[in-house]
Amino acid sequence: MSSDTSIAAAALPSTAPADASAARTAVPHSRQYLDWLAARRREKLLIVAAQIGLVLVVLAGWEIAPRLHWVNPMLTSYPSAIWTAFVQMVQGGELGQHIVVTLVEVVVSFLLAMVLGTAVAVLLWLSPRLERVLDPFLVVLNALPKIALVPIFYIWLGAEGSIYAVAVAVALFITILMLYTGFRQSDPNKIKLARTFGATRGQILAKVVLPSNVHTFIATLKANAGLSLVGVIVGEFQASKAGLGYLIVYGSQIFRMDMVMAAIVILGFMSLAIYALIQWAEFRITRPAKRASAG
């Protein structure tokens, strides 16, 4: 009898973890937890329904007010006329050209601003003396209204080049300031530890500062997506023969508010698509780290 007991006791350590794991997976969720999940789902559905309802109310009011002449339809247009103008431009083939032109300008300006801004932020972090020299100039240039530079860029670079220059100028300085601020806020204890082991400033940048600022990079990408779009449209207002900015200016000149509003709506969806793409990239980049921390 004692030998049987000792054999069973010896077997317990190997089987207990598996039994405990199976027990954890077999335990159903508590009623309170299920109620909490249901309440969260209802809250999300309520928010989505409220958002959709708000859009429908605005569209209905926008459609009714000009038709009843509460407002001048020449000044506001209305959704059905905007949809008709959109369909006509799609069928005519001109809208696709304008969208492609603006999209290419936004992507190129966005990439240039990120590359140049990252390079300058890295240089500032590597050289504190350079940062002290350039800091007041960066603050002034960031605060300067970039639209004031449009005529200068137009004279220097011509019509097409000025569009890219304005867009890069709008996004560049905020990129530098956001990234450099993130670099400076890196964990000082990790930096001290790396220095203790003899790491150079460049090695600290590569092994500590840059990896710890992934979220700063993503936040900068989100900010630049909108700023690059704003800069491109401002540039197209001044000097462009194609693009959504040109379409807005041209439509306002011939009092085609349906064309103007259609271009503005497309810009809204374009900015939403760019933001969603960055959100997807953020999810793909940060998901492994979240899994590792959870595990």
Position 205 scores a pLDDT of 83
Residue 92 identity (one-letter amino acid): G
pLDDT value at position 288? 66
The predicted-structure confidence for 82-127, as pLDDT tens digits, reads as follows 898 889 888 888 888 899 999 999 999 999 999 999 999 999 988 8
Low-confidence ranges of the chain (pLDDT < 70): 1-29, 288-295
Provide the token pair at 274. Answer: 């760019």
Q: What is the pTM of this model?
A: 0.75
pLDDT reported for residue 11: 43
Task: Report in angstroms the alpha-carbon separations of 124 from 135, 142, 156, 167, 188.
Answer: 9, 16, 28, 23, 17
Residues ≥6 apart with Cβ < 8 Å to 278: 218, 221, 222, 225
Q: How far apart are CA 123 and CA 126, in angstroms?
A: 5
Per-residue pLDDT of 35-58, as tens digits, reads 888 888 999 999 999 999 999 999
CA proximity to 165, closest of 125, 105, 98, 88: 105
Check if the beta carbon of residue 136 is closer than 8 Å to that of residue 243.
no
d(CA 60, CA 109): 37
What is the Rg, in whole angstroms, of the alpha carbon atoms belonging to the chain? Answer: 28
Query: The domain at 78-294 falls in which architecture?
Result: Orthogonal Bundle (1.10)
Q: How far is CA 294 from CA 38, 284, 287, 288, in A?
A: 24, 16, 10, 10
Q: How far apart are CA 193 and CA 131, in angstroms?
A: 24
Given the structure tokens 């027990």, which residue do they identify?
23
Distance in angstroms (rounded) separating the CA atoms of residues 115 and 274: 18
